[in-house]
Structure formats: C-alpha cells, structure tokens
Amino acid sequence: MKKNNIILIGFMGVGKGRLARALAAETGFFALDTDDLLESFENRKIKKIFRQEGEPYFRNLEKRVAHWLEIHVSSSIISTGGGFFAVENLNRIGTVIFLKADFETILQEIFEHPKAAKKIKKRPLLQDTEKARALFDARQPLYADKADMVIDVTGRPSQDIASEIINHLKFAPLAEA
Ligand code: S3P
C-alpha cells in the first residue's frame, strides 16, 4: 500500500520547500526536506559533499534517505532535491507531485531573489546556466513519468497551489492533537 506522505519533485528553485511548508500548515502534517536530512546525516553542506566526494556519492546518500523515508516516515510533506526523483522507491514513499514551471521563470525568480547569490552558490548544478538548461530539458519527461499529479506553479502563490493539491487529493486535514 502507498504511504500517506506527499512528495514534491521538480527542478531546482521551483519552490518545493516553500510549498511543503504551506501544505504542512494546511494539513497538520510536518514538512521534511531530503536535502536537509542528508546534510544533517553527513554533518556537512551539499556544496561541500559535491566538492569533497563528487556527485555519485551524493546520489547514494539520496538513496539512503529514500530507503529511510520508506521505512520510517508517514503523515509528512516531503520536499526533495531536484535529482531525488530518480530513486528507485520514490512511488512507494507516497503520492508524488511534480511542480512544473518553465526554465526562464525559475531562473528569473532565483536571480531576482534578495538572496540570489546564496541561492546560486549552494547549488553545484546551477553554476553553468547552459548546463542547467540541458539538465532541465532532460529531466522534464522523467519528472512527469514519476508523478501522480502534475501542477503548473508558474507565478502562483504557495497558498493557492496548496489548496489545489488538497482539493485534488481530497485530502482531509489531520485533527489537531
Ligand atoms: C540537485 C538539486 C538540489 C540539491 C543538489 C542537486 C539536482 O536541490 O539536491 O544540489 O540534482 O537538481 P534543490 O532542488 O532544492 O535545489
């Protein structure tokens, strides 16, 4: 049986973490983030993990996180790193929602953000815009393939997207403890 988690997938900077927090507030679930889990497990930042160990090591950590989520986590909204969708057990962790926006919009939001420099610096795969665009193009069909629901998030407030998801999934908020 599928677990009752909601998993948000999609490209870097599309707003997975922000939406996870909005959904958590609406549902009474807690929000978790796979990058945060992996960083606390490793006690170092993603940028450092990529630099010191390389990308394959990072992808293995994602698999470990995915395994742990499948076994131990329920009733949670899980935001993921942009490459996490590739883990073999993704669909067993919960209902997968692909947040879709076009590349130009994503870039614009990142570059116009007050903390743009920080947002770019912490993402090793966003250092070269053309390489990032190629990665974006290659991943779009792969995200869609894994998704139980695809939602266009371009220019929409998180609150609005959260309501659409809750309605679509006919999601009953948890009673207050
Ligand atoms: C990655 C996305 C990042 C982070 C890592 C790799 C990717 O997460 O997991 O830098 O492969 O797209 P965000 O999607 O939160 O930026």
- List the pLDDT tens digit at each of the 177 positions of the chain: 678 999 999 999 999 999 999 999 999 999 999 999 999 999 999 999 999 999 999 999 999 999 999 999 999 999 999 999 999 999 999 999 999 999 999 999 999 999 999 999 999 999 999 999 999 999 999 999 999 999 999 989 999 999 999 999 887 655 443
Model pLDDT, residue 173: 59
Kindly give the number of the ligand 1 atom that is closest to the alpha carbon of 122.
Answer: 10
Model pLDDT, residue 176: 46
The residue whose CA has the least distance to atom 1 of ligand 1 is 82
Kindly give the number of the ligand 1 atom that is closest to the alpha carbon of 62.
Answer: 9
Give this prediction's pTM: 0.95
Model pLDDT, residue 175: 45
Ligand 1 centre to CA of 127 (Å) is 12
Model pLDDT, residue 162: 96
| Ligand 1 mutation target, pool 42, 123, 128, most atoms within 8 A of CB | 123
Ligand 1 centre to CA of 13 (Å) is 8
Cα gap 140→174, rounded to integer Å? 33
